[in-house]
Structure 1
Amino acid sequence: MPMPASSKRSHRRRINPQPASMASPSLSFSRSRSPSLLSRLRRNRPASVIFLLCILLLLYSTWRAFNTSSQHHLFYTFDVVNEYPHDPNAFTQGLLYAGNDTLIESTGLYKRSSLREVHLQSGKNEKFTHEMRDGWGLATDGEILYGSDGSSSLYHLDPLTFQALKRVTVQYHDREIINLNELEYINGEIWANIWMTDCIARISQKDGRVVGWILLHELREGLLKSGYQGFECLNGIAWDKEKNRLFVTGKLWPKLYEIKLRPIRGPLNAAVEDLCPIKSYW
């Protein structure tokens, strides 16, 4: 029997699809999902390029800062704090600060060798007799002695017997550094004049590795500009650990200097091998 018209209309209403607000949860979730980072970068390519460039710039700046900081800790120049008179006939071999503004200095040259006590302010000295024959540099940390003989060897010596307890080879970037001369122990490092150069090597006492260079070329240049002639290479390091004062001089130098170190800012104007030409003279 045919259904009434009203029943047909009622049936049609029941089979109508659900309104949008009644959609299934899964369908609603799919429509509200945020686009992925990759898809957003693809849509906005200019912004993504700028973002990547910023990352690269940040990485480069970090690398540059690290590299520059490492160099600053490796090379040092100086400021002159004070100048003192020094015997221009003293062929300085070794220098030691003895306290109360006095230094102990050993000098060389045939029939002119001496061991003397030097007054810092006046440069006047009192000589002592000695029986030493040969030796390049000697320093101590209060427990053992460190000695050099003009080669690349740094000796650890027993202070009572003078027997070698250990010997390390001084190296910079796998290159042996010969001509180690006057030595000084400063804050856990051995500082060494390199014969016939205007450079001081800062050496690790443990393994002989050069951890820094002090470039003192301007001292020689200053003496020449002042009209001094006939002096020889830089040699002589003394450290006043109580007042943190550093003294340097050279062979036949008319002056002794108190200096303060400062790291070199920026690249060197030449390679270390050119600034500190280390050659064999034997």
Structure 2
Amino acid sequence: MKNLIRCILVSGVIGLAACGNGTESSDTSKDSGSAATNPVSYVPPAIQYNVIKVYPHDTSSYTQGLIWYNNTLYEGTGLKEKSKLLKVDLNTGKQNQQVKLDNEYFGEGITILNNKIYQLTWQEHKVFVYDLNTFKKVQEFEWPYDGWGLTNNGKELIISTGGNNLYFVDPATFKILKTVGVSNNYGPVSDINELEYVNGFVYANIYETDNIIKINPETGAVVGKLDLTDILSKNGVVYNREQIGPNTGNVLNGIAFDSAKNSFYVTGKCWPALFEIKLN
């Protein structure tokens, strides 16, 4: 998910082992322990989509969180020394307002609840809370695990940590209220990343893929899958992910929902474009 990473397959070990300068791997030790999960009895159906419009996106933004709120786009970005909280002009991709995190912090997912913006950090175990209008930091919380994705259901914050769990958290105390394990027809689904709560479901990026899954947050069951492979090239956007080396983590990450249009906005880490899509 994070910093510029190179991954190698280790003989005899299934999965990816991250190496190098403080990067994030995809092992489930980031969770406090998997919640009970049961494979669903069906193959989650494919969700089709149409691209409605392509907007510019700042290629310096290593996108970790994306929100559409009151006709405004908010973005949280990562990488140490570069992490920010941004208010962005959708049509130009330019920043209208920003807060830069201190250099030791790696910014992660964001969400807005009760006129506050919550922002996770990756491995620093800090959660920053800002006033929605002024971007002034008003509170900090401790979070015991990695921070990856963040959304809310109107009452509780919902957090992912790179494993297969969704944590439901009290926004006033940051106490974990419940944990739901996510599974599909094969079993637990790991690498759950950026989150967006829409009409009773949680949509989640799966790290290092161009897939978004649709989750029933009550049961943890995956009830649909959206494949956005090659969305850049299919829409005439020239972007070579290998420019700075293979496996650099510049993958799909960022889901926002515009209820007025019934549209989703999606982008990726350092992508040159943000896409408005409608699901079929």
Is the structural similarity TM-score above 0.5?
yes
Equivalent residue for 2:174, pick from 146, 162, 165: 162
Residue among 238, 247, 251 paired with 1:233: 251
Question: Could you tell me how far 1:235 is from its partner in structure 2?
Answer: 0.5
Give CA deviations for 1:187-216 in whole Å, capped at 9, x if unaligned.
100000000001001001101110110111
Superposed, 1:260-279 pairs within 5 Å as 260-262=278-280
Distance verdict in 2 for CA 1:226–1:120, change over 3 Å: closer
Deviation at 1:228, TM superposition (A): 1.4
Tell me, in whole angstroms, the C-alpha distance in 2 between the residues paired with 1:145 and 1:184.
11
Q: CA deviation at 1:260?
A: 1.0
The residue identity in structure 2 corresponding to 1:260 is K
One-letter amino acid of the structure 1 residue matched with residue 216 of structure 2: S
Checking the alignment, whether the CA contact within 8 Å between 1:182 and 1:237 is kept in structure 2 is yes
Q: Partners in 1 of 2:46 and 2:174 — Cα distance?
A: 33
User: Which residue, 62, 65, 73 being the options, matches 1:91?
Assistant: 62
Separation in 2, partners of 1:153, 1:96: 21
- Helix, strand or coil: the match of 2:121? coil
Matched, 1:206 2:218: yes
Structure 1 contact 230–252 (Cα < 8 Å) conserved: no
Amino acid at match of 1:233: V
Instruction: Look up the match of 1:247.
Output: 265
Which range moved further: 238-247 or 111-120?
A: 238-247
User: What are the ranges of 5 or more consecutive residues in structure 1 without an aligned counterpart?
Assistant: 1-69, 263-282
Structure 2 counterparts to residues 78-117 of structure 1, below 5 A: 78-100=49-71, 102-117=72-87
2:93 match: 123
Residues matched between the structures, number: 190
What TM-score results when the alignment is normalised by the length of structure 2?
0.64
The answer for the alignment partner of 2:139 in structure 1 is none
Indicate the structure with greater helix content.
1
Deviation of 1:89 after TM superposition, in Å, equals: 1.2
Over aligned residue pairs, what C-alpha RMSD do you find?
1.9
> Structure 2, unaligned stretches of length 5 or more?
1-41, 103-119, 123-146, 243-249
State the 1:226 CA deviation: 4.0
Q: Which whole-Å CA distance do the structure 1 matches of 2:121 and 2:51 have between them?
A: 34
Cα contact 2:67–2:256 (8 A) shared by 1: yes
Q: Which residue number corresponds to residue 121 of structure 2?
A: 133
Q: Secondary structure at the match of 1:79?
A: strand
Indicate conservation of the 8 Å contact 1:76/1:213, yes or no.
yes
Residue 10 of structure 2 is matched in structure 1 by: none
Q: Percent identity?
A: 42
- Contact 2:194–2:204 at 8 Å: present in 1 too? yes
Asked if 2 retains the 8 angstrom alpha-carbon contact of 1:137 and 1:182, the reply is: yes
> Is the Cα contact below 8 Å between 2:83 and 2:100 reproduced in 1?
no
Q: What secondary structure is seen at the aligned counterpart in 2 of 1:76?
A: coil
* CA distances 1:30-69 after superposition (whole Å, capped 9, x unpaired): xxxxxxxxxxxxxxxxxxxxxxxxxxxxxxxxxxxxxxxx
Q: Tell me which amino acid in the other structure corresponds to 1:108.
A: G
Which of 192, 195, 200 aligns to 2:207? It is 195
Structure ranking higher in strand proportion: 2
The structural deviation recorded for 1:128 is: 1.2
Q: Report the alpha carbon displacement of residue 77 of structure 1 after superposing the two structures with TM.
A: 2.3
Alpha-carbon distance, 1:230 to partner = 3.3
Q: Deviation digits for residues 240-275 of structure 1, max 9, x if unmatched?
A: 12331211000110000000112xxxxxxxxxxxxx
Task: Name the amino acid aligned to 1:229.
Answer: N
Contact residue 99 and residue 240 of structure 1 kept, 8 A: no
Instruction: Give the Cα–Cα distance (whole angstroms) in 2 for the partners of residues 87 and 226 of structure 1.
Output: 14
Helix, strand or coil at the partner of 1:258 = strand
Distance in 2 between residues matched to 1:241 and 1:258, nearest whole Å: 12
Give the deviation of 1:227 after TM superposition. 3.0
Instruction: Name the CA shift for 1:174/1:222 in 2 (closer, same or farther; >3 Å).
Output: closer
- Say which structure, 1 or 2, has more relative contact order (CA 8 Å, 6+ apart): 2
Q: Secondary structure at the match of 2:54?
A: strand
